[in-house]
Structure 1
């Protein structure tokens, strides 16, 4: 019996969750992209995903362009559908992938936004270390900058993942991949102070759990909570620019490369599977070198 499009949709989402171990955030994008494609199928009178042909795929891509989507958004949607049909092909629900030969729009490689070292210092100074939450915030900020971990990785850290003797932390990244990342004495001191003097206080009378970072009510800190904390720090520091948590990750990588770290090491620390993903930071470092040269060379 041939499965319906909805059944194949749920099978694919289950595959992403179990086999690919994608985050809930990534899976939401896949769901939305597939739901939009199903609406397109309905408008074209296509009854099931098995009926979609190459010309239908081309027509859908044309529609994406007509909607004037950002190239990165269009590329993501095409990639999603290519993966969907690759899965259907593997499971023998279709005989060919209609999106195999669809050309994806080339996306511009954006230069990552990052903080200069002076700006990082301002952020640290903006944390009120006389309060419990201020001490938590400085520990959070120190760890994010010291390790370059993603916010989703940070909120998943448990107490047992930290090895203070070796000054390393176990991080679970995309696809469940694990890596150990070292951290320096600033982060070490801030974390120990937070764990012994802050976390224990905030957890009094609350349900015990092992997540490292917690909110004011003793529950695990969420990604949204991290964004809120960082926005408040920016506000206190009187910095006009907007912040997103990835800027600390970008700053981590940029500052390492500017100070002589090799690309392969930075790749491993960031948890990038491809070196090309890390190489985007060379644009930043080249710009930094050019500015340094122009400012300091006597005949620049």
Structure 2
């Protein structure tokens, strides 16, 4: 049974078709995990190496389902206030000065204070916006960068689909947002949060799927060039690099070659465009030292 406010999806295949329509080529595992998260009203926890399409999945889901995307970018030190709400202090101060000027020195303190804490002065951060705007897709990106305390707070919000603003009362989502949490596994996320979610590990795509992604995202790229780029990127991922290239780097590489009018990925073309696929000097030096011919070997 579809949740009120969500477009009905009858199967993972139907969801995969809608994702493909907006440019995201989901394999069976990804489509099934996303479909179950939508059908079971559960958050989807996506782990995997950087560049495997975790963030892009949330963006594509919002487009495919025709709902807003609300993004919460996690970072070290993030707290509940940064994720939930804050008060617009400069605007409150201007309002208070206007009240003082209008009162002629007879300002009612209690009345003035109550007028400061209304929705007009509330700055809604991503979690509160998601509850207010739902149905929407809530992307909690790189949750592994946050700390234990924030995890516990997030778990409470996801369990209740509601928060309380002391001055205004409870804000509850009439339709639970479709929440996608991503992690690059820089640290282990606690079991309590994982248990609340459905889990999926995203691998780098197969060669055929990566070629299909390149052709879909860059219609001007030939099958030959897309295959050469995807094959070379797969070999780069097998090296001990600081940052192995993801799908985004594959797309950048193919786009750069096309912009230069190259129709084939040869040693010369690879050398002048290596910065589009490798983002660390040490990685580029390692690849050049090992020989570009080995990377481009057919």
Whether the TM-score (by the shorter chain) exceeds 0.5 is no
TM-score by length of structure 1 reads 0.23
